[in-house]
């Protein structure tokens, strides 16, 4: 089999990373090409792995529906914002996802809560995690619609598959009894296994009253949200 046939076979097998690297190597001068078969195989394997990782990251980003195209490098860390580089570094390895820990980001309007949440979520996408961004008010409306259409079970399965759920603008409206129970089930299923990022204008101490009138459900929801959670209280700068 000649080199052109090999290149075509790699493309037919959908080994596009290998095919691109192989074509690049063929275009090099002879003295610049790999000296051994083992070195060539290693280069091709690395290229295919990089190609697949990049595609997976792009798929994760596309499915996440993040509100902002934010990167962790753009997050401003200053004492005035009550945000340190140490905090960002600690969260940047995404170990909180593996440990099933939550991140609670609170602060006034315009302080960058959603931007920070999206930056952390985007970083997780690049590390291979599936993320789903949800505006809390729209999410509640979607739950009502799913109940009426009989698609709630399907929606719950999608939520369950996500390694990270981002609930943005939590607490702007009180939860109705049926929504409160669904939300409690979501958090219960994720507890200790997957991560949840929550942003809110309200301090955590005021979340209890916005969850609703059922003390038992409110206690359960707050326990699942706050247990072993990383808390970030941003200030407006």
Asked whether residue 197 carries a pLDDT value surpassing 90, the answer given is yes
Question: What pLDDT score does 32 carry?
Answer: 86
This prediction has a pTM of 0.84
Could you report the per-residue pLDDT of 211-222, keeping only the tens digit for each?
877 788 889 999
Segments making up each domain of the chain, as ranges: 3-63, 65-233
Average pLDDT of 63-85? 94
Q: Which residues contact 80 (CB under 8 A, 6 or more apart)?
A: 235, 237
List Cβ<8 Å contacts ≥24 apart for 28-33.
none
How would CATH label the architecture of 65-233? 3-Layer(aba) Sandwich (3.40)
Could you report the per-residue pLDDT of 161-170, keeping only the tens digit for each?
999 999 999 9
The sign of the dihedral angle between the CA atoms of 50, 53, 59, 62 is negative
If 0-12 CB within 10 Å is exposed, 13-18 middle and 19+ buried, where does residue 12 land? exposed
pLDDT averaged over every residue in the chain: 91
Q: How confident is the model at residue 40 (pLDDT cuts 50, 70, 90)?
A: confident
- Give, as one character, the DSSP assignment of residue 17: H
């Amino acid at each position: 089999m000649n080199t052109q046939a090999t290149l075509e076979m790699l493309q037919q097998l959908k080994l596009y990373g290998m095919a691109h690297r192989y074509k690049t190597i063929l275009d090099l001068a002879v003295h610049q090409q790999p000296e051994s078969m083992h070195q060539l195989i290693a280069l091709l394997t690395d290229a295919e792995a990089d190609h697949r990782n990049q595609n997976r990251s792009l798929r994760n980003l596309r499915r996440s529906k993040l509100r902002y195209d934010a990167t962790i490098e753009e997050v401003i860390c200053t004492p005035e914002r009550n945000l340190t580089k140490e905090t960002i570094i600690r969260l940047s390895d995404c170990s909180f996802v593996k440990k099933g820990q939550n991140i609670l980001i609170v602060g006034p309007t315009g302080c960058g809560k959603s931007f920070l949440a999206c930056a952390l979520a985007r970083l997780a996408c690049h590390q291979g995690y599936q993320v789903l961004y949800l505006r809390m008010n729209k999410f509640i409306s979607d739950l009502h619609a799913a109940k009426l259409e009989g698609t709630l079970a399907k929606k719950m399965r999608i939520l369950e598959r996500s390694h990270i759920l981002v609930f943005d603008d939590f607490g702007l409206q009180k939860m109705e009894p049926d929504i409160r129970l669904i939300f409690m089930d979501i958090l219960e299923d994720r507890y200790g296994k997957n991560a949840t990022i929550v942003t809110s204008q309200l301090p955590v101490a005021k979340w209890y009253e916005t969850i609703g009138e059922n003390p038992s459900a409110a206690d359960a929801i707050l326990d699942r949200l706050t247990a072993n959670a990383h808390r970030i209280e941003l200030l407006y700068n």
